[in-house]
Structure formats: C-alpha cells, structure tokens
Structure 1
Amino acid sequence: MSESLQDQLLKAGLVDEQSVKKTRSKKRKQRRRGETDSEQASASQAAIQREVDRKARARTLNRRQQEERQREAAEKAARQMVIDQEVPHDGDERFQFEHNGRIRPVNVSAAQRRQLAAGELAIARTRGRYRLVPAAVVATLRRDAPFLLAWTADQAGPHEQSEAAYPDHPVPDDLIW
C-alpha cells in the first residue's frame, strides 16, 4: 500500500515503463529550471493569500486592542480627574436631580446650588459617590467618559420645554422640591 501512484498504475498495466520514465524526467527538468506545475502554483498562491489574510486580521486585531487600551486609559484618567477636581460639598440644602430615571439628592451649600443652576458646577458619579465638579471638567468627561456625568445644567430636565409653552410663568432654576 505504500507504493506510489505511478508504481500502482504500472502494476495495473494502465501505463507502460516508457511513459513513467518520461514523466519522471519531465518533472526533474521542471524542478531544475524552477518551473512548477499549475497545482503547485495555485497551492503556493493560496498559501501566500492565507498569510496575507492572517497578517491583515492580526493588524486589525492589534489596532482594536490598541484603541481599547487607549479608551480604558482615557476613562481611568477621567475618573481620576473627577476625584482630583472634586469640589467639597457638605451643605445644609438638598439639591435633587434625576439620574438613571431616579431622583437623587446631594447636600450642597446655597452658593453651590446657585453654581449648579448657573452651570458652573456639574455632578459626576464615580466610586459609588456623587461628586461636584467644575464646568471646565465637563467637556473632558463628555469626550472621554460620558457615563461618569450624572447631571449638568444643560440637561436639567423637562422644565425647559414647558418654559416655551408658558413664557409668562418661568420655572426658577433654584426650585427646591
């Protein structure tokens, strides 16, 4: 069973010794000249194409991993910036805002309440706490980690729509609930 196909065909009587020698001679000459038959050429071409495809997939995967690492680094930096830029708040007034469909309270001072209403301060959430941050940080948070922003004055809620409907009766920004 370990005989070559040529030997098997020769034993079966389907080819003669002369044609076997001619075929061997032809293949030897092709190898010497560097010629390859069409099957070898297509196989080598397919191997080259597989290698090109593999390298392209590897480049794409590396690019995605690099982008993911950059995104994670930007998010980590944004979290740290929120902690570093936090404005201490422990006032006697409650400022209530909507976050994730629920009303959340934060104790602030009267000055901080005015700054929140004016848009000079915003509220971010990190490490399980709501933190007051300056408005200068908001643009960076929106770019790098928008999920950290819990509340800003420009997303203050539906009263802005109702102001257009009732121009004679504006809703005050510092309304206490």
Structure 2
Amino acid sequence: MRNPLQDQLLKAGLVKKSKVAQVVREQAKQRSGKALPAADAPERVDAQRLQAEHAERDRALAAERNAQARAAELRAQVRQIVETQRIAPAGDAPYSFEDGGAIRRIHVDLAQRAALAKGALAIVRHDDGYALLPRAAADKVAARDPAAIALDHAATPGKDAAEEDPWYARFPVPDDLVW
C-alpha cells in the first residue's frame, strides 16, 4: 500500500516503481517487527551510552552507600563493645592523659592507675566522655576504629629518655610522679 506522496513521485518520474515497492516492503517489515537490524542508528548508540553511564553512576552510588552503612555498623559495634565491657572509674585520684592536644582527666583508683600504666587497661572515647576498657576489649575496638582509642600504653611502647636525647638521660623521672 502506497501513500499519496509515493504516487505523486512515481507519476512525476522522480522514482522508479521497483524502488517504491522495495520501500513499501521495508515499511511493512518494520511494522510487523521482522525487519533486519539496520546499522546502529546514532540515537541507539547514544541511548546505549547513556544507559551505560547511568548504570556506572548507580554502581558508584551503591558502593558509597555500602561504605557508609559499613562505617555505621562498625561505629555501632564499637559502641556496643564499650557499653558492655567498660569498667567504671572508681576513686578520687585524677589520671591525666593527652587527647587531641589537650590534657584530659579521668578519676581512677590506685589499682586502675597501675593497670593503665602497665597497659592492662585502655582509655577510649565514648559519647562526650571517656571509658576504661580491659585489654581484650580495647584490642577489639582498635580493630574496628583505631581513632576511638584515646590512651593505650600497650599499643604505644614508651621511649625512655636515652632514646630521645642522651642529655635527658641524666635526669630520671621518678616513679611516683603524678601530673
């Protein structure tokens, strides 16, 4: 079935009858869906490229969301470990330590002070304050979030004065020094 424009072009002699018949057959095939795939049209290539870019962007967003979810999960695990394993600071003696360039204090008794000095206890950041944790729990927290550890004498081996500067080796620090 030809359209009026094809008839007019045929009467004017601008196209041949065989060419019009071929175009009609191709149009019929396209309508029935049996047409051979033509060379990729530029629109199809653009659509495929846009689809690939969209899929890549979706993958990147999904990876970012997964990383954020993993970080939130680790923070929740650290919070749970601290809340279940914390040791209540007991005593009136302040124990001073450095955290973030500032001197902080937590009140402990003599046994806790000795355990902190040996590395059997560690101090971790918890909410707006600090908590004491035993060595095993502190290792679990450090594996999940190393930044949560405020003080851990077992993880940071102390240098003695002779290693830093031989001149200071002449002035030993007394064992009972409290600052």
Taking structure 2 as the reference length, the TM-score comes to 0.72
Counterpart CA distance in 2 for 1:123 and 1:133 is 6
| 1:128 maps to 2:110 | no
| 1:45 maps to 2:45 | yes
Consecutive unaligned residues of structure 2, counting only runs of 5 or more, are: none
- Greater alpha carbon shift after TM alignment, 20-29 vs 167-176: 20-29
Runs of 4+ in 1 over 6 A off after TM superposition: 15-18
CA contact (8 A) 2:120 2:154 kept: no
- Greater alpha carbon shift after TM alignment, 49-58 vs 130-139: 49-58
Counterpart of 2:91, as a letter, is: G
Offset at residue 94 of structure 1 (A) = 1.3
Deviations 1:86-136 (A, max 9, x none): 111121221100111111111111111111111111111212121111121
Cα 1:174–1:140, aligned 2, differ >3 Å: closer, same or farther?
farther
Q: CA RMSD in A?
A: 3.3
Indicate the percent of aligned positions where both proteins have the same amino acid. Answer: 25
Offset at residue 25 of structure 1 (A) = 3.7
CA contact (8 A) 2:122 2:134 kept: yes
Cα 1:101–1:173, aligned 2, differ >3 Å: closer, same or farther?
farther
Partner of 1:87: 87
Taking structure 1 as the reference length, the TM-score comes to 0.73
Consecutive unaligned residues of structure 1, counting only runs of 5 or more, are: 1-5
CA contact (8 A) 2:112 2:121 kept: yes
Offset at residue 82 of structure 1 (A) = 0.9
Counterpart CA distance in 1 for 2:172 and 2:22 is 98
Offset at residue 137 of structure 1 (A) = 2.0
